[in-house]
Amino acid sequence: MIVYRIAGKKHSDDLSGTGAAMYGGRWNKKGTPVLYTGESKEIALLETIVHTPPMIVPKLDIITLEIPNESITSITIDMLPQNWKVYPAPTILSEIGEEWVNRSKTIALKVPSCIIHSAHNIILNCRHSDFNKIKILDKRNFKFDSRLVK
């Protein structure tokens, strides 16, 4: 499976999950290194926009990664509590993510995006023993259109 990550130039080479571990996220608790990616460039961009402060136009890279198709766990909307899409995220989601990381059966967790429910984020377990099987296919400058943060 091909996935996309949009990250600040300063951190675009870092696939360690340190940022997510420092702050925690919807699908991981503080201290757990994961990488948040999207199944498309478009959902990766939307996820970046919702986490970018207004009026800031960051310098970004887009990274294209290939993950093993046979190492993906999928979670569908009907498997989630009704409030899964609210902000801030309900604690149950990071607990689901923690359980998945700790079981370490798959490299990737495919989850619905709370921005566009038919799109998916792909969370990567940086501690998985096969994490080194993830391939960087491309990395390039991503032009962030300033009109997106007005």
What is the percent of the chain with per-residue pLDDT over 90, rounded to a whole number? 86
What is the rounded CA–CA span in Å between residue 62 and residue 52?
15
Q: What is the CA radius of gyration of the chain?
A: 15
What is the rounded CA–CA span in Å between residue 26 and residue 87?
9
What is the rounded CA–CA span in Å between residue 128 and residue 13?
19
pLDDT at 146 over 80: no
Residue pLDDT, tens place only, 42-93: 999 999 888 877 667 678 999 999 999 999 999 999 999 999 999 999 999 9
Cβ atoms within 10 A of the Cβ of 66, count?
14
pTM: 0.94
110, HSE (Cβ side, Cα atoms, 13 Å):
17
What value does the mean pLDDT take over residues 108-133? 97
